[in-house]
Structure 1
Amino acid sequence: MSNNNESIKASRVAAVSTKVLTDSKNKIKAIAEKFSLYGKIAPKSEETLETRLQARLTQKQLLEQANLEQIIKLSYDLCHDEPTRDPDPDWLIRFLDMAEQIHNPSMQKLWARILKQELIQAGSVSLRTLQILQTMTHREAMVFQKTLALTCCIGNDKNKKLLTSIKQRKGSFSLQRTHQSHIDYSQYQLPYSSILILTELGLILSTELETNAINPTEKLKFSYHQLAYDLYPIRKGCSLTYYRLSPIGQELAHLIGSQPNDTYQEELYEVLLKYFTISSKEK
């Protein structure tokens, strides 16, 4: 019986401890303590408003310094013996001003790669791209990387695109019936809401575009990561619809990189086979 009582008591203590750590009131208090903002919650008679302000500013500056030092160290570790050029002084100052706000370790690695890239090829990363990247959360960056894994290139244009459908018009008039195969990206954890987020960030152009009808006597170059296809339409009136990455999205795509999604690759091939004769080759 005593063992049961001790077990119950231990469970209650654990529950109370968990509540202390997770309930909203204590969470706000913990944030206030961490950032010296507790003046109205738990005032300490010996501390003035100015004292708390100085403590918060000092902590903020120390954190920013730690962020910058970590990014510089990561960039240093990435470098070898590549020839470099001095970055534009204004670009470098703006880079440091923005990079000091980057706390997430994964995002710090990305900023480290950006610095190395700019040293090797000055002007390759615009300030506008840095500004958008600074506003991105880690979750948004992951959504963008997930999107990149599903992008392709169409024709001779090397800009990345997110294929949305393949159309087959039944005849030469636009009013006639059209057969269309849509790509459902929600099954790859990329719902339409995620595409809207990237559109709002300026990484994807908001307008869905469409190719001209593809001439059956000519091939259309199409690539998905390291796989390159020559597509020959089975019938007339075939076209592709897609979303296109913005110029800033293209810059970030080059920096972030991505790996192909094997399941999507198989589905993409099956959809293409409905409309095209395919000749495939490794890039």
Structure 2
Amino acid sequence: MSNSIDENKIIKHSPEQSSPVIIENDEDSNAPRSSNSTTANASSQKQILLLAKKFSLNAAFLPEIKQAPIEDRAFRRKKIDELRKQQNMEAIVLRAIQYCSDENMTDRADQDWFSSFVILAEGISNKNMQDLWAKILAGEVSKPGSFSLKTLQTFRTMGITEAKLLAKACSLAMSDTRRKNIRVISGAYQVPTLFNFFNKQRQQQLDLNQAGLSYADILTLADNHLMFEQETESHSLAKGEKIQFNYNGKSVSFVAKKADCILTFYKFTPIGTELAHLINDNADESYLSILKTKLSENFSITN
């Protein structure tokens, strides 16, 4: 660490302090405070110092004479961690209540599932992610079996970026009426025959990047076990045959204009399908317009 940093101006340490206390930023108490803006505008050095202080790992920045015994520091850090986890879980449970009804239920919540849920969720401090964990808890209690432990473990490794990508994919996704099979339609084509082989309009491929979901995003979702990276196809539709989809709460019909028309799409994994239920319906109308225009050669699309 550079000698130009005055650690004592950044970190205040009390060796006599034995009770665990969450330390706030050292700023003018009379000034408006915003931890997010403060962290965002601080240098990388100061951000590390602030994090070290918050998690009671700041002793190394102080003169040895001012350092509390390492046993005390370890105990204090453990207590701070326990308090933080307790605060996180209380916030998540409080949020979950808001998503539940007060009606009587026939199925009792699985305590083993809840115990695993607590272990995985207790380290989540971000408010947006806490809200998603609260929805998982409310959904599982309301309908046991909605979220598997494998899904919870996958979700635990996700960050805000991945959650936003999932939300974007959901805004483009079509599903069956039960939302058991969720997919993002990527194109369509007619099975090649002797009569249509040289027809340049036989195949249409959507540029999902225009809708805000690049192939790199799809690969990221695939790495998080939320979506398959390889395209899948529908069955071959006869002329006039219809497929009905649910598009974020709206009914959308695809009717084949010709014989042997096929839809292509990226399909959500079972884990991605479970987590998609956390995302509020938020249809992307521009994507629906693109579908109607780009696939008009082979399909008539109505909603």
1:178-217 mapped onto 2 (5 Å cutoff): 179-217=202-240
How much does 1:177 deviate? 6.7
1:257-272 mapped onto 2 (5 Å cutoff): 257-272=280-295
Output the aligned Cα RMSD: 2.6
Q: 1:34 aligns with which of 47, 54, 62?
A: 54
Per the alignment, residue 53 of structure 1 pairs with 74
C-alpha contact 2:100 2:142 (8 A) present in aligned 1? no
1:243-262 mapped onto 2 (5 Å cutoff): 243-262=266-285
1:69-80 mapped onto 2 (5 Å cutoff): 69-80=90-101
Do the aligned partners of residues 157 and 133 (structure 1) sit closer, same or farther apart at CA in structure 2, a change above 3 Å counting?
A: closer
How much does 1:71 deviate? 0.8
Say if 2:155 is the partner of 1:133: yes
Deviates more, 1:53-62 or 1:64-73: 53-62
Deviates more, 1:250-259 or 1:174-183: 174-183
Aligned to 1:255, what secondary structure does the other structure show?
coil
Counterpart amino acid of residue 181 in structure 1: Q
Per the alignment, residue 118 of structure 1 pairs with 140
How much does 1:213 deviate? 2.4
Q: For 1:238 and 1:202, locate their aligned partners in 2 and report how far apart those are by CA, in whole Å.
A: 29
C-alpha contact 2:218 2:229 (8 A) present in aligned 1? no
List runs of 5+ in structure 2 lacking aligned partners.
1-37
- TM-score with structure 2 setting the length: 0.77
- Alignment identity in percent? 33
Do the aligned partners of residues 120 and 109 (structure 1) sit closer, same or farther apart at CA in structure 2, a change above 3 Å counting?
A: same
Do the aligned partners of residues 186 and 90 (structure 1) sit closer, same or farther apart at CA in structure 2, a change above 3 Å counting?
A: same
C-alpha contact 1:204 1:246 (8 A) present in aligned 2? yes
How much does 1:222 deviate? 3.8
C-alpha contact 1:35 1:59 (8 A) present in aligned 2? yes
List runs of 5+ in structure 1 lacking aligned partners.
1-17
Counterpart amino acid of residue 212 in structure 2: Q
Per the alignment, residue 112 of structure 2 pairs with 90
Deviates more, 1:38-47 or 1:252-261: 38-47
What per-residue deviation string (whole Å, max 9, x for no partner) do you get for residues 50-70 of structure 1?
A: 122112111111110000010
Do the aligned partners of residues 227 and 275 (structure 1) sit closer, same or farther apart at CA in structure 2, a change above 3 Å counting?
A: farther
C-alpha contact 1:129 1:251 (8 A) present in aligned 2? yes
What per-residue deviation string (whole Å, max 9, x for no partner) do you get for residues 214-255 of structure 1?
A: 211433334423333443322234211111111111111123
Q: For 1:227 and 1:70, locate their aligned partners in 2 and report how far apart those are by CA, in whole Å.
A: 33
Per the alignment, residue 148 of structure 1 pairs with 170
Counterpart amino acid of residue 139 in structure 2: Q
- TM-score with structure 1 setting the length: 0.82
C-alpha contact 1:170 1:177 (8 A) present in aligned 2? no
Do the aligned partners of residues 47 and 210 (structure 1) sit closer, same or farther apart at CA in structure 2, a change above 3 Å counting?
A: same
Q: For 1:157 and 1:48, locate their aligned partners in 2 and report how far apart those are by CA, in whole Å.
A: 57
What per-residue deviation string (whole Å, max 9, x for no partner) do you get for residues 144-183 of structure 1?
A: 0111000113799851101111113442599877632222
Per the alignment, residue 244 of structure 2 pairs with 221
Deviates more, 1:186-195 or 1:22-31: 22-31
How much does 1:107 deviate? 1.4
Say if 2:96 is the partner of 1:63: no
Do the aligned partners of residues 136 and 172 (structure 1) sit closer, same or farther apart at CA in structure 2, a change above 3 Å counting?
A: farther
Q: For 1:246 and 1:151, locate their aligned partners in 2 and report how far apart those are by CA, in whole Å.
A: 13
Q: For 1:51 and 1:113, locate their aligned partners in 2 and report how far apart those are by CA, in whole Å.
A: 38
Per the alignment, residue 20 of structure 2 pairs with none
Per the alignment, residue 25 of structure 1 pairs with 45
How much does 1:47 deviate? 0.9
How much does 1:275 deviate? 1.4
Deviates more, 1:83-92 or 1:59-68: 83-92
Per the alignment, residue 273 of structure 1 pairs with 296
Counterpart amino acid of residue 181 in structure 2: N
